[in-house]
């Protein structure tokens, strides 16, 4: 960013994000200049202009990042450029953070040459991912505290509207984070699919390159770059664990769309990190505890987030990849009432001793924990004492997810910007 642009952009973005009185001061200045009759439209015009300038800037930088390596050479030579763009992320509200994540940070990470991972991605990615984790954790905690508060029962209609806006923006941020996490661990498959779709459109439009002129035929280069990126982020001790924590927390944060992306991410990650002890407690300890709690409860507390079939898929992936690597898997299963070491020995010998379809593996694990279903089994998992977070959902609002979504869309088109 040029010095001239920073003079305009940086104070506006920063002040609007962290100082509520900034908007009031802007309103007063406009009222003084134009009079109260035109105030509302003028304020809306100014805020709309600022939003479009901001999002256009993010998008432009994201597009440039995909064109040439020179973009990264400049950033590598001038780290302050990246600091200027991302330095205000902690002060941004959720929707601004979602914009910069979707339009700039995602393309920046995915297009970065592997030779510059340590110089460009390593300095900012750990703190940025931790920021996202803390934002989502704090946001969902606010939702839970608000819904469980006694004073919330008599909330006015305006408060309900504000709650819907807050919830929806938080969920949209969460889904954007889920897409980013999946793109970091899918070994470039998503980018290869996009490249293949673009190539197909070129063929249909008659603008396809000659076969020998396309250096990325079939998305090969994109997939190779994706594999290098996945290997890098999972090998970094200050990046990989935060990514996996974001995936695991998706099962205690109430958004089914984001949890489905986390499920896909975990299916790709668990086999790759099975030999890395840094991930064992999160996967074989905390996450397995959440899965067993959901599967052994009389009513699945994760029903609106993940189905029983999805949880059984996850149980199978954790068990088959980690049962022989870490004792945590057996320790968690032995906490269930009625399960003894002999039962686990038989199941392990059967599942690992011969070839078996995944469907039969899931069925066998389901039969293992089926007798434990009920409050007693769930209480045994809860006895871990703080390792498994609370996943109960409040029923303050009787609105369905579809109703809340429709209400948010209406508010967004009428008065929310």
Mean per-residue pLDDT for 239-261?
87
As given in the structure block, the two tokens for residue 180 are 């980013």
Mean per-residue pLDDT for 27-49?
55
> pLDDT band for position 134 (50/70/90)?
very high
| Cα three-residue angle 157-158-161, rounded to 5 degrees | 90
Helix (H) or strand (E) holding 318: helix 308-322
- Whether residue 13 is predicted with pLDDT greater than 70 in this model: the reply is no
For residue 385, count other CB atoms closer than 10 A to its CB.
6
- Whether residue 208 is predicted with pLDDT greater than 70 in this model: the reply is no
Closest among 68, 109, 73, 94 to 176, alpha carbons compared: 94
Q: What is the pLDDT of residue 213?
A: 46
Q: How far apart are CA 269 and CA 39, in angstroms?
A: 53
Q: How far apart are CA 285 and CA 43, in angstroms?
A: 52
For residue 378, count other CB atoms closer than 10 A to its CB.
21
Number of Cα atoms under 13 Å in the Cβ half of residue 113: 13
Closest among 283, 313, 284, 312 to 296, alpha carbons compared: 312
Q: What is the pLDDT of residue 155?
A: 37
Task: Calculate what percentage of the chain has a pLDDT beyond 90.
Answer: 16
- Whether residue 212 is predicted with pLDDT greater than 90 in this model: the reply is no
Q: Is 404 helix (H, G, I), strand (E, B) or coil?
A: helix
Is the CB of residue 381 less than 8 Å from the CB of residue 336?
A: yes
Is the CB of residue 286 less than 8 Å from the CB of residue 248?
A: yes
Q: What pTM was estimated for this model as a whole? A: 0.74
Average model confidence (pLDDT) for the chain? Answer: 74
- Whether residue 254 is predicted with pLDDT greater than 70 in this model: the reply is yes
Longest dimension (CA), the chain: 82
Q: What is the pLDDT of residue 394?
A: 41
> pLDDT band for position 10 (50/70/90)?
low
- Whether residue 389 is predicted with pLDDT greater than 50 in this model: the reply is no
Q: Is 285 helix (H, G, I), strand (E, B) or coil?
A: helix
Q: How far apart are CA 329 and CA 288, in angstroms?
A: 8
As given in the structure block, the two tokens for residue 168 are 């929806």
What DSSP string runs through 234-259? HH-TTTHHHHHHHHHHTTTSS-HHHH
pLDDT tens for each residue of 328-346: 999 988 888 888 899 889 9
Mean per-residue pLDDT for 259-276?
89
């Amino acid at each position: 960013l040029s010095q001239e642009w920073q003079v305009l952009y940086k104070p506006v973005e920063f002040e609007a994000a962290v100082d509520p009185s900034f908007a009031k001061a802007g309103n007063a200045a406009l009222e003084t200049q134009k009079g109260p009759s035109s105030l509302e439209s003028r304020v809306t015009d100014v805020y709309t202009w600022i939003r479009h300038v901001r999002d256009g800037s993010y998008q432009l930088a994201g597009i440039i990042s995909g064109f040439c390596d020179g973009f990264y050479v400049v950033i590598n030579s001038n780290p302050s450029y990246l600091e200027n763009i991302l330095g205000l992320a902690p002060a941004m509200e959720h929707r601004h953070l979602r914009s910069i994540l979707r339009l700039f940070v995602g393309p920046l990470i995915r297009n970065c040459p592997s030779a510059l991972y340590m110089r460009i991605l390593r300095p900012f990615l750990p703190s940025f991912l931790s920021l996202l984790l803390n934002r989502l954790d704090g946001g969902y905690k606010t939702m839970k505290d608000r819904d469980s508060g006694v004073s919330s029962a008599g909330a006015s209609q305006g408060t309900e509207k504000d709650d819907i806006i807050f919830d929806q923006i938080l969920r949209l941020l969460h889904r954007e984070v889920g897409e980013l996490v999946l793109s970091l661990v899918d070994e470039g498959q998503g980018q290869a699919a996009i490249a293949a779709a673009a190539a197909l459109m070129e063929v249909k439009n008659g603008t396809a390159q000659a076969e020998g002129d396309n250096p990325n035929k079939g998305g090969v280069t994109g997939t190779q770059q994706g594999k290098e990126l996945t290997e890098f982020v999972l090998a970094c001790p200050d990046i990989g664990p935060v990514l996996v924590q974001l995936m695991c927390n998706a099962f205690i944060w109430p958004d089914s769309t984001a949890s489905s992306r986390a499920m896909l991410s975990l299916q790709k990650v668990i086999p790759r990190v099975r030999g890395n002890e840094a991930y064992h407690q999160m996967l074989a300890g905390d996450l397995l505890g959440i899965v067993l709690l959901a599967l052994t409860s009389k009513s699945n507390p994760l029903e609106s987030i993940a189905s029983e079939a999805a949880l059984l898929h996850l149980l199978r992936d954790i068990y088959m990849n980690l049962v022989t690597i870490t004792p945590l898997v057996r320790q968690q299963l032995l906490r269930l009432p009625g399960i003894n070491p002999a039962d686990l020995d038989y199941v392990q010998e059967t599942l690992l001793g011969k070839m078996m379809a995944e469907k039969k593996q899931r069925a066998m694990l389901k039969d293992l924990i089926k007798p434990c279903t009920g409050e007693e089994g769930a209480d045994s998992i809860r006895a871990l004492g703080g390792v498994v977070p609370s996943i109960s959902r409040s029923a303050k609002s009787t609105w369905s997810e579809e109703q809340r979504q429709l209400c948010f869309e209406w508010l967004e088109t009428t008065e929310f910007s």
